[in-house]
Structure 1
Amino acid sequence: MSQLLDSPFTAWEGDDLHGRRPVLTAIWVRLDALFVRASDAPRHVIETGLDLTGEVQGRLHGRFPSVEGDWLGVVNYEIPFADGRRSKLQLVDQLVPFSALRKRE
């Protein structure tokens, strides 16, 4: 297993004999909130670029507080490409503000 970003708030399941793994919480990552585009930024469409709109599924496995009291989730998620290809950009152990996350039901 690859090294995992272990926050003080990471919950674990399993045991040392059978293996421990982080408890994953299913969430939505709001890409629009995470990757905010300046309203006056010029637009140049790149058909093979990343689609940073809408929500994507993610898995939350830890969190950290900021010095100002904001919470950041430790999240694994994927970003699709705009051209619809099957492969996606896989992001692991990303710090994402809780304002850009919501629990999946």
Structure 2
Amino acid sequence: MLTGVQVQLDLLFARRPGAERHVIPTGLDLTGSVKGRLHGRFPSVEGDWLGIVNYEIGYADGRPDKLHVVDQLVPFHVLRKL
């Protein structure tokens, strides 16, 4: 069963505190949230839930092409149901 979700990229790809920035204008934009499709759920041995999600990440330069990310294991705390 497919479930529409928002993937919070800021949380999923959190930067290390104090990490130096090197801006690459053509890089992936890992800020904000993107729409995704949750199609699997698995618990970890520690009791955390993980989802299998398909989603797309845009580029910082605004080009229409997107990186299609398929079957990614994503912690539930970065997902929000649509």
**Is it true that 1:45 corresponds to 2:23 in the alignment?**
yes
Identity fraction in percent: 71
Q: Relative contact order (alpha carbons < 8 A, sep ≥ 6): 1 or 2 greater?
A: 2
Q: 2:25 aligns to what SS in structure 1?
A: coil
Shift in Å, 1:38:
1.2
- Identify which of 24, 49, 56 aligns with 1:71: 49
Q: CA RMSD in A?
A: 0.5
Tell me the TM-score normalised to structure 1 length: 0.77
Unaligned runs of 5+ in 2: none
Task: Indicate the structure (1 or 2) with the bigger Cα radius of gyration.
Answer: 1
Counterpart AA for 1:63: R
Instruction: State the one-letter code of the partner of 1:86.
Output: P
Runs of 4+ in structure 1 deviating by more than 2 angstroms, as ranges, are: none
Aligned length: 82
Give matches, 1:78-97, under 5 Å: 78-97=56-75
How far apart, in 2, do the equivalents of 1:68 and 1:81 lie?
35
Q: What corresponds to 2:39 in structure 1?
A: 61
5+ unaligned residues in a row in structure 1: which ranges? 1-22
**Normalising by the residue count of structure 2, what TM-score does the alignment of the two structures yield?**
0.98
